[in-house]
Amino acid sequence: MNAALYIAKRYLFAKKSHNIINFISMLSLIGVAVASGALLIVLSIFNGLQDFIAQSVNAFNPDLEITSREGKVFPQQAIDLQTIAAWDDVQYCSEVLSDVVVFACEDRQFIAKLKGVRNDYTKMNRLDTMVEGHFVLHENDNDFAVLGGNIAYRLDCFAGVPNTFLKVYYPDRMRKNVSINNLSSLNSQIIIPSGVFYTYTEYDAEYVFVPIDFAKQLLGYDSAYTSIEIKCKEGKVNAVQRKLKEMYGDKFYVRNAYQQEEDLYKVMQSEKWGIYAILSFILVIAMFNIISMMTILILEKKEQIKVFYSMGADKTMIKNIFFYEGLLITGIGLLIGIVIGLLFCFLQSQFEFITFGDGSYLLSAYPVKIKILDVVMILLVVFLTTVPATYFPTRKLSVDD
């Protein structure tokens, strides 16, 4: 065993002549353990919340979305939808016609986005599992609408309520001087609500699904679409996206699920790394205790340092003794903190003892997800703060005094 490391271990566990050194050593170890454990727990909870939000968003968005680079809509013949649908890596694709309209139910009004899709649109995503009522858009020659939860609440318009109708208004593109405040000057149609979907994201206040033929008639487009949505076989999104970009990339955007919500994902990542930076600062503060402890320890061991020097130990070895002791304190504290963090995350995932409290929430308890990258980042910040903190008190250590 390395002699400096062996002596450092003896110094760490041996009783000091001054209790203040024992106290500061224990305080330093606890500080590192608490900070590293808290950092792992908070990041794991944040990962769990991120995953939940991402799952909700991905349940709404398609794997790939094609939109025009120029203008709001594009002609039907601009994209060969039948050829794309026949690809082996494509499971389903649908034309979409969407725009902002005014919804009204009795005397209540709300502005949101009308999204016209095929009747079998549930093949695209899992929205049918998030619906109160039924995700039905056309049945027995009747058109139906599926509303976002917040829209249904604002309009007090829910499925299954007798004599409940949704009136939809949209400006006539062929007329001039159309005012949204004068609903009589707008194109309008009536539709029956069949269900209400809940993603617990902003989409609940933004979208109402209707049959695409209903949307064409209301918006005044016979053969134009705002987007093409595609569902790919598992693991084939990138391959299909590359192929579509080669075919249509000069005139159309081809975005995957991440790119469709790029701003949201960037915000979530920024928040996570902001939390990481704040909690890492606590670790930096904890390192000041190590500097204080090592400075006092060096003063206490001054006579023993002279003995080591007289026995043939050089300055490097003597410095390494105290350097290793600082590393040992930090390493033990880090190990304890990581174990506590992992244990907490395991217990929280099994027993869910930390909850959101009273109220109506989609999640009853805080979700947790441990990522290896987070553990590596914790180790990295501890290493980057420990080395300077342990080196600083020893750099001017002298055996001549």
The one-letter amino acid code at 70 reads E
- pLDDT (0 to 100) of residue 225: 95
Structure tokens at 9: 């271990």
HSE-up of residue 82 (Cα within 13 Å, Cβ side): 2
Q: Please provide the size of the chain in residues.
A: 401
pTM: 0.73
Contact (Cβ atoms closer than 8 angstroms) between residue 401 and residue 301: no
Structure tokens at 104: 């009204």
- pLDDT (0 to 100) of residue 180: 55
Question: What is the Cα–Cα distance from 296 to 292, expressed in whole angstroms?
Answer: 6
DSSP 63: S
In tens digits, the chain (401 residues) has pLDDT values of 577 777 777 766 666 555 666 777 788 888 889 989 999 999 999 999 888 877 777 778 899 999 999 989 999 999 999 999 999 999 999 999 999 999 999 989 999 999 999 999 988 877 766 688 889 999 989 999 999 999 999 999 998 888 889 999 998 776 666 555 565 668 899 999 999 998 878 889 999 999 999 999 999 998 899 999 999 999 999 999 999 999 999 999 999 988 898 888 888 888 888 888 888 888 887 777 777 777 777 777 777 777 777 777 777 787 888 788 888 888 899 999 999 999 999 999 998 888 887 755 667 888 999 999 999 999 998 888 888 878 777 766 655 55
Question: What is the Cα–Cα distance from 257 to 59, expressed in whole angstroms?
Answer: 10
| Residue 389 host element (H or E) | helix 372-391
Residue 342: burial class (beta carbons within 10 Å; 0-12, 13-18, 19+): middle
- 35, 38, 43, 48: CA torsion to nearest 10: 170
The one-letter amino acid code at 322 reads F
Q: Which residues contact 81 (CB under 8 A, 6 or more apart)?
A: 93, 95, 228
- pLDDT (0 to 100) of residue 4: 73
